[in-house]
Structure 1
Amino acid sequence: MRCWNRNRVSGKWGWERRACFWSDSKVFAAHSESAGNALMYAMSERALQMLRGTTFTDPVQLLEDMLPEVLAYGKKITGNPDLRKTFALNALVCVDNAAWLLYAQENNITQFDEMIPAAYKPGLSYRHEKVASIPSFSVGTTAERIKQAADEGYFILKLKTGAAGTQQQMIEKDIAFLTSLHKTIGHYETPYTQNGKIPYYFDMNGRYEKKDTLLRFLDHARKIGAFDQIAVIEEPFEESNEASVGDLGVRVAADESAHTVEDAAHRIELGYSAIAVKAIAKTLSMTMKITQLAYEKKIPCFCADLTVNPILVDWNKNVAARLQPFPGMSVGLQETNGHQYYKNWDRLMTYHPMSDATWIKTQKGVYLTDKSFYSASGGILAPSAHYEGLFKG
C-alpha cells in the first residue's frame, strides 16, 4: 500500500500539528507537538499491522472493520478514554487512501467515478465546472488582510471567530470584527452567488458556550445589514452542547462533531443544515457515507481543509466537484489553505504528478474543474515520482 500522502514538509503550521489539534484538542494540550504526532502515527502503524497478511474487497467495509480497534488502541496509548473518533479517522486517512489506490489498481479502475460504490454514487453525482477555492483566516486577522484576498478574486473566505478571552470579551471582539469586515468587503460583488454579494463563512470552533451569545452575534449582523450575506456558520458550540440550531435563521454546519455517518445524522436531528466533509481528515470511505446521507436528507455539503499537501487537495477536490450545489451558489465549495501555511508549498506542488494541469492552481478564486479534471480524476490515481521514490532503497 502506498501511504505517501502523509509525507511531511516543514511549514509555519504543519499538517501534523493541525491534525492533532483539530482531531482532539485534549491530546494536543496534554502532549508536545512531536508526541501528539507520534501517537497518531502509532495508530496508523497499528492499522497497517492489522492488515498484514489479510485481504479485502471493499475499502469502505475495511474501514468499518478497522475503526473500532484503532480507536480503542488510541484511547489506550493517549490515556484518554474519551478520545474523539476523528483522531482515529485522521490516523486512518493514509491507510484508507492506500486501500483505495490498491482497490483501483486491482480492479483496473482508472477514474474516480468508477471507484465510487453504487450505494454512494447519488451523493457524488454532480459535476461542477468550477470549485471555489476558500482560504482560511485565523482569529485576529485584520479586515484589510481579508480585503487583500477578496481583491485577488477569492469570493468566499473562511473566517475564524470566537476570539480569546471570556465570553463577554469574545462576543465584543467578534462583533467588532464583523462590523469591520462588513464595512470593508460587504459591498463586493461576485458572479457565483444568486444575490451577487460576497458570502460570509464563519467558523466559531466551538467557542460559543450559550445560544444566547450566538444570537447576539446574529442580531448585530442584522443591525448592520450583514445577516443575509452569512452563507454558513460552522460549529458554534462544543460537541457536548446539544442545543438545537434549526431556529437561528441561518445555516449552521457540523464539522468536528460529525465524526461518522451516525454522528452526522444526530447533528441533522439537532437542526444542523450543512456538513463540512473532509475526505482528507475523516477518510474517503467515511466521507462517502456522510455525503450519501446528506444527499438523502437534502443537507448541502462542502469540503473543508486540514492544511494538506497538493495531492490531498485533489482528493478533496474530487469530492467537492461532485457535491450537489450549495444553496445560493453556482460552484462547488472547497476550503484549501496549504498555500497560506506551508513554508515549502511551491516545492510540494512539484510533487503532484500533474502539477501543470489546468485544475491545480486557483484562478481568480476558483479551480477550473473542466473535462480534463474529471478524465484524470485530479491526478490522484497517478503515481508521484517523488513519493514513490521514498520507498526505494
Structure 2
Amino acid sequence: MKFNSNSILSLPRRGFIKLTASAAAGYVLSSPGAYNKTENKMNKKSIRIKNVSSNFEREPLYPYRFKGGAVTEAWQVAALLESDSGIRTIGLGSQGVLWSDARVAFEHSESGGNALMYAVSEHALKMIEGQSFTDPLQLLDDMYPEVYAYASRITDHEDLRKTFALNALVCVDNAAWLLYAQEHGITNFDAMIPDAYKPGLSARNDKVASIPSFATGTPIDKLTESTDEGYFILKLKIGAAGTQEEMLEKDKAFLTEVHQAMQAYSTPYTKDGKIPYYFDANGRYEKKETLERLLDHARKIGAFDQIAVVEEPFDEFNTSFVGDLGVRIASDESAHTVEDAADRIEMGYTAFAVKAIAKTLSMTMKITQLAYEHNVPCFCADLTVNPILVEWNKNIAARLPAFPGISTGLQEANGHQYYKKWDKMMSYHPMPDAPWVEPDGGVYHTEDPFFEHGGGIFKPMPHYEGLFEV
C-alpha cells in the first residue's frame, strides 16, 4: 500500500544509540520514527479494507490535573474496519490531547482539541479505505507519515509531537489487529505477536500490580485508602502548578507527607518490603538541577531508596544526560517511536513507560523489543482509558520482564479514579465478571484464564457495536 504526501514531517533526532550487532541486523528505518524488524514471520495474506466508519462518545471525568492543565472529559473513539470477506472489527481509543501535545490543548477549548484529534482518526480511516494490508505493523508504517503530516497541518504545528498522531491512530491500529486476527483465526494474544517481537513480550506474570495515580496536593487520606486496599506502588504526579520554585516546594512538601504516611505500610511484592514511589513529572522540570534538589530532599527525609522510577522529568527537547542521577529515569511521552526510544537510552534513560493504549500496539511492540535487547525494563502507564483498553494494556504488562525489585508486572490504571461513570463503562466490558478484570488486593490476577482469553479483547463488544447500527 502506498500513500502520497506533499509534506512528510517528523521531529529531528537528538542522539544515536549504538545498537547491538543483532539489533543492528534486525532493524531498518522504514519511515520517520519507525524501525521495522526485517525478520517478521507473519502470515502475508492480503486483507482488503472494503468499508470504514467511526464514532465517539464523550465520557465525563472528575478533573484530572497535570502538565499545568486539567482534563474534564475523554472522548472514546471507535473505528470500524470491514474486509472483503465481510469481517467487521471495532478498535477503541481514548483520546489524550493534553498528554500528547499540551500546546494543542492550551490553544483550544477541550472539545476543540478533542475534535482535532478525532479528525486525524477519521482522516486515517479514509486513507486506508479500499486499500490492502498484510499485517498491522506494515499498515501503521505505511500510513503514519501522511497521518502525521495531516495532523501537523490542522493543528498548525510543524513540530507537532508525534504522540498526537499515534494517539489518534490507536483505534485504527486496534481495529486492524482484530481484523488481522479474525482473518487468520487467531483468538490468542500470544499467537498475534510477530515472531520478531516475541522476546520482548515473553514473560508470563501471574499478577500485575494496579497502580493508582495521585497529583501533588492530593489529601494523604486518599493515598492511605489505596494502600489500605492493598495497592502497593503509588504514582505521584509531581510537577505542581506555578513557577519552578513554587513547583519544587509543593513537590517536596507532598513527598514528605507521602513518605511519612507510607512508613506504616509494607508489601510482599517488593524486595525490601517497602512501598515504592513512582514519580511522573510530565516534563515539568525545566532544569536537571531542579530535579537534583528534589532528589536531595528525598535523601534528607529517607525516601530516596524507595523511589522506583522517575518518569519524564524534562521536556523532550531537554537532552540532559540522566544516567548519573542515582535513580532510574523513565521515558514516556518523549519515546514517541522506537527511534526516539533509542535516543533516550543514549541519554541515560533506563526504563520506558509503554502505552499500547496511547501510542498503538504496533509501535509498543517495537519499543518493548528494543528495550529487551538493551536490558531496559518497561512498565505500562495509563492514559485514563476505558475498561476494554485496560485489557489491551494488561496484555502487555502481563508479558513484560519483571521490573527490578518488584515481583509482579506493573500497570498504571486510574480510570476508576477519574471517570464519573466508570461502573457503567465496566458494563461495556465483554467479560466484566472475569477474575482478572478487577484488582484484588492491589493486583490483577493474570493467570491461565487471562492468557487463554487475551483479557477478553477478542470478544464481541455489543455497546460499541451499537454505535454503528443503522
Q: Look up the SS of the partner of 2:61 in the other structure.
A: coil
CA contact (8 A) 2:377 2:402 kept: yes
| Higher strand content, 1 or 2 | 2
Equivalent residue number for residue 10 of structure 1: 60
Measure, in 2, the Cα distance between the counterparts of 1:274 and 1:181. Answer: 23
Q: Deviations over 1:244-301 (max 9, x none)?
A: 0000110000000000000011011100000000000000000000000000010000
Q: 1:309 aligns with which of 379, 386, 400?
A: 386
Q: Look up the SS of the partner of 1:11 in the other structure.
A: strand
Q: 1:331 aligns with which of 377, 399, 408?
A: 408
The letter for the 2-side match of 1:14 is: E
Are the structure 2 counterparts of residues 176 and 232 from structure 1 closer, same or farther at C-alpha, using a change threshold of 3 Å? same
Equivalent residue number for residue 132 of structure 1: 209
Measure, in 1, the Cα distance between the counterparts of 2:229 and 2:54. Answer: 32
Measure, in 1, the Cα distance between the counterparts of 2:54 and 2:425. Answer: 12
Measure, in 1, the Cα distance between the counterparts of 2:461 and 2:58. Answer: 15
Measure, in 2, the Cα distance between the counterparts of 1:130 and 1:3. Answer: 37
Is 1:362–2:461 an aligned residue pair?
no
CA shift at 1:234, angstroms?
A: 0.5
Measure, in 1, the Cα distance between the counterparts of 2:246 and 2:114. Answer: 33
Equivalent residue number for residue 182 of structure 1: 259
CA shift at 1:312, angstroms?
A: 0.2
Are the structure 2 counterparts of residues 5 and 304 from structure 1 closer, same or farther at C-alpha, using a change threshold of 3 Å? farther
CA contact (8 A) 2:95 2:167 kept: no
Between 1:9-18 and 1:33-42, the stretch displaced more is 9-18
CA shift at 1:206, angstroms?
A: 1.0
Q: Deviations over 1:83-139 (max 9, x none)?
A: 110000000000000000000000000100000000100000100000000011122
Q: Deviations over 1:169-220 (max 9, x none)?
A: 2111111111111111134100000011000001111111111111111111
The letter for the 2-side match of 1:10 is: P
What is the Cα-based RMSD across aligned positions, in Å?
1.4
Q: 1:165 aligns with which of 234, 238, 242?
A: 242
Is 1:31–2:81 an aligned residue pair?
no
Pairs aligned (count): 393
TM-score by length of 1: 0.97
Measure, in 1, the Cα distance between the counterparts of 2:126 and 2:55. Answer: 18
Measure, in 1, the Cα distance between the counterparts of 2:125 and 2:222. Answer: 43
Q: 1:292 aligns with which of 369, 386, 395?
A: 369
Q: Deviations over 1:222-244 (max 9, x none)?
A: 11111110000011111110000
CA contact (8 A) 1:205 1:234 kept: yes
Q: Look up the SS of the partner of 1:377 in the other structure.
A: helix
Between 1:248-257 and 1:179-188, the stretch displaced more is 179-188
Measure, in 2, the Cα distance between the counterparts of 1:120 and 1:266. Answer: 20
CA contact (8 A) 1:251 1:272 kept: yes
Equivalent residue number for residue 228 of structure 1: 305
Q: Name which structure has the greater RCO, CA cutoff 8 Å, separation 6+.
A: 1
Equivalent residue number for residue 250 of structure 1: 327
Measure, in 2, the Cα distance between the counterparts of 1:305 and 1:5. Answer: 22
The letter for the 2-side match of 1:251 is: R
Q: 1:56 aligns with which of 110, 133, 156?
A: 133
Q: 1:151 aligns with which of 228, 231, 252?
A: 228
The letter for the 1-side match of 2:344 is: R
The runs of 5 or more residues in structure 2 that have no matched partner are: 1-50, 63-71, 76-93
CA contact (8 A) 1:129 1:370 kept: yes
The runs of 5 or more residues in structure 1 that have no matched partner are: none
Q: 1:80 aligns with which of 157, 161, 164?
A: 157
Is 1:207–2:266 an aligned residue pair?
no
Measure, in 1, the Cα distance between the counterparts of 2:351 and 2:128. Answer: 35
Q: 1:104 aligns with which of 176, 181, 191?
A: 181
Measure, in 2, the Cα distance between the counterparts of 1:204 and 1:389. Answer: 39
TM-score by length of 2: 0.82
Q: 1:259 aligns with which of 336, 358, 363?
A: 336
Equivalent residue number for residue 95 of structure 1: 172
Q: Look up the SS of the partner of 2:359 in the other structure.
A: coil
Between 1:147-156 and 1:268-277, the stretch displaced more is 147-156
Equivalent residue number for residue 425 of structure 2: 348
CA contact (8 A) 1:5 1:94 kept: no
CA contact (8 A) 2:95 2:168 kept: no
